[in-house]
Chains A and B, each alone.
Chain A
Amino acid sequence: MTLALDHVSLTVNRGEFVAVLGMNGSGKSTLARHFNSLLLPAEGQVLVDGMDTRDEKHLWSIRDRVGMVFQNPDNQIVAAVVEEDVAFGPENQGRPSEEIRQRVEEALTAVGMVHMRERAPHLLSGGQKQRVAIAGALALRPACLVLDEPTAMLDPSGRREVVDVVHRLNRELGMTVVWITHFMEEAALADRVVVMAGGKVALEGAPREVFVQSRRLRELRLDVPPAVAAAERLRARGVELPEGILTLDELVDALCRLHSNK
């Protein structure tokens, strides 16, 4: 028997933005499903705000606190019309209808789907479904949002929008975020990066600490963000770039400094 999660110890702090990386099958989705009692640990303990996920009486408070966007948006369509789908969660929480309307509006705006509010979600394109799923989670305004590869089917501007919205909610409302992704440049924006391998936490730290370990990351079937890769190759050609470059903006600034000193 192999373990999908193998003796994992991990704390996600309130208000933190944590990115989870790891090769296919490394246990990321399994881990995520433990955060709101969709899965219960065979051994060990998961505590959400001090509540044990195995304790049934906490189930609904935990699910209220920890929202989830799944890897495949087809699994989470619940209504026949987009806006009803997004309203489903807040309705279930018994929110007043004016507040629901406002939240749905905001959530659909955030993902750029207001103009599709009356369409049927199951007839949408892959990326449109994914946006609706994200809107549904946003409308719940959970204290903590777990997103499992939320941008996998989005176009570049859709990706940027979703990344921006979730970062804004994290910054402005202090929403805790767990962001699972295969895009290294998205992980570079997190407060902390957790790398899973074989059901274990293999690496953990600030993006700058994790992404300097490019050899180790490649061994784990991962990579570094494009700016880090470009900087590495430039250094190999004798370009004297400082350490710790993570984003294209930083790389461009550093290159321009060299260029003007030339």
Chain B
Amino acid sequence: MPITLEQVSHVYQPGTPYEWRALDNVSLTIPEGEFWGVIGPTGSGKSTLIQHMNGLLKPTSGRVLVDDIDLGQRGVNLKAVRQKVGLVFQYPEQQLFGETIFEDIAFGPRNLGLLAGEVEARVARAMERVGLDPSFRGRTPFGLSGGQARRVALAGVLAMEPRVLILDEPTAGLDPRGREEILALVKTFPGLGMSVVLVSHSMDDVAEQADQVLVMHRGRVHMIGTPAELFSRRAELEAIGLGVPAAAQLVDMLRERGWNLSATAVTLDEAVAGIAAALGKGGGRR
């Protein structure tokens, strides 16, 4: 299910003192089944951008097409679109409302008119996938720790079994293992035919996983490329307040000190392999 934006601009609160052009003429296509990372400085328009992809926000000008359907057309069933394009918000605590965690996660599937047994099964599956112990079922979603709340919100969206999953900073506030687990989980979705759009401030999050990385800056598309392409351009990224993954930074620092290393390493293993080889310890890859 491809998503296309054609010359999309978005102005918040037009005609008021708070008027703000958050998106400025954005055009792009996310092909079916791809994994996209979205990075950009604070306030660059990332959250605004992704809320256009399931019709939560409407462009001030331009068009958004989901599965070749123009969301701005009269009579488009936005509820159906939101079921297919699931979105996990930046502050998931705000997304929780059920009496219990079970009720919260079951809300979406129930709204689809599924039978009770199927709802049960989906909730159980979603909780398992995000690593929530079944003992959480009956607990209230209020008073959860930050990371627990994030998992519940993700489970609620997964239980809808969307075709496109959009995650706004899904690893912020997760402990390091939780981060790895969520990323490992998200990585499996493209294999199941699901597209993934992952917004993150962690360059490491997008480095290992993404097919393409979109860099937003001041409401515009600043760069698009593979992780290896983008993260070899450290100076350009730093100029707009971004950075590169730790591995790329390490390689870059060594290159600056005269080491002859390839600049395309984006994961720690790639960097370590290159460094070891340069020190004559390259044999036996492990």
Contacts and interface: CB of A to CB of B under 8 A. Distances in A.
Contacts of A156: 201, 203, 241-243
Contacts, number: 149
B52 to A, nearest CB: 15
A233 B247 CA distance: 12
A233 B254 CA distance: 17
B169 interface: yes
Contact of A71 (B146, B276, B278, B280): B146
B239 to A, nearest CB: 10
Task: Report the contact-size class of chain B (Cβ under 8 Å from the partner).
Answer: 35 or more
Interface string B1-31: 0000000000011000010100000000000
Contact of B272 (A128, A155, A223, A237): A237
A226 B246 contact: yes
A233 B174 contact: no
B94 A233 contact: no
B24 to A, nearest CB: 15
A213 to B, nearest CB: 14
A123 B12 contact: yes
Nearest to B243: A156
Nearest to B41: A155
A126 B90 contact: yes
Interface stretch (A18-26, A34-42, A92-100, A135-143): A18-26
B219 to A, nearest CB: 11
B176 A223 contact: yes
Task: Report the contact-size class of chain A (Cβ under 8 Å from the partner).
Answer: 35 or more
A157 interface: yes
A184 B173 contact: no
Interface in A206-251: 218, 221-223, 226-227, 229-230, 233-234, 236-239, 248-249, 251
B94 A74 contact: yes
Contacts of B201: 127, 153-156, 159
Contacts of A71: 146, 173
B175 interface: yes
B3 to A, nearest CB: 22
Interface in A119-157: 119-120, 123-128, 131, 149, 152-157
Given A24-B174, A234-B275, A158 B42 contact: yes
A252 B281 CA distance: 17
Interface stretch (A5-13, A60-68, A164-172, A253-261): A253-261
B141 to A, nearest CB: 14
B268 interface: yes
B70 interface: no
Interface of B: 12-13, 18, 20, 40-43, 47, 90-91, 93-94, 144-148, 169, 172-179, 201, 203-204, 238, 241-243, 246-247, 249-250, 253-254, 257, 259, 268-269, 271-272, 275-276, 278-281, 286
27 contacts: A23-B175, A25-B147, A72-B91, A72-B93, A74-B94, A126-B169, A128-B42, A152-B172, A155-B42, A155-B201, A155-B241, A158-B41, A158-B241, A222-B177, A226-B204, A226-B246, A227-B246, A230-B272, A233-B268, A236-B286, A237-B272, A238-B281, A239-B275, A248-B253, A252-B250, A255-B279, A256-B254
Interface of A: 22-26, 29, 71-72, 74, 119-120, 123-128, 131, 149, 152-159, 182, 184-185, 218, 221-223, 226-227, 229-230, 233-234, 236-239, 248-249, 251-252, 255-256, 258-259, 262
